[in-house]
Amino acid sequence: MYYKQLAYDNKRLLKSSGMVFREDLTQYKLKLLKDAITKMGRNGRVWTTNGTIFCKYDGEGRTVKIEKPSDIAKL
């Protein structure tokens, strides 16, 4: 378990490699993540930390926590 967390914590080192490294999520959270990525497109960043989904607006610089579909609709 320790190595898995260590690898996940350092995934930013793979940023320019084209590889995607995501943590295991429930089906519900995975759907939210995919919907958020689709909604944000190239205009923002979407990531997970300890099972929590976050989005960051590039222009506004604010971070939004995604917990339910209505949070995505507000983006």
Residue extents of the structural domains in the chain: 23-75
- Reported pTM: 0.74
Q: What is the pLDDT of residue 29?
A: 95
Contact 54, 66 (CB under 8 A): yes
The closest alpha carbon to 75, from 19, 62, 12, belongs to: 62
Question: Cα dihedral angle (55, 59, 62, 67), rounded to 10 degrees?
Answer: -30
Tokens matching residue 57: 């607006």
DSSP annotation of 50 reads T
Residue 5: pLDDT band (50, 70, 90) is confident
pLDDT tens across 35-58, in order?
Answer: 999 988 766 688 888 889 999 876
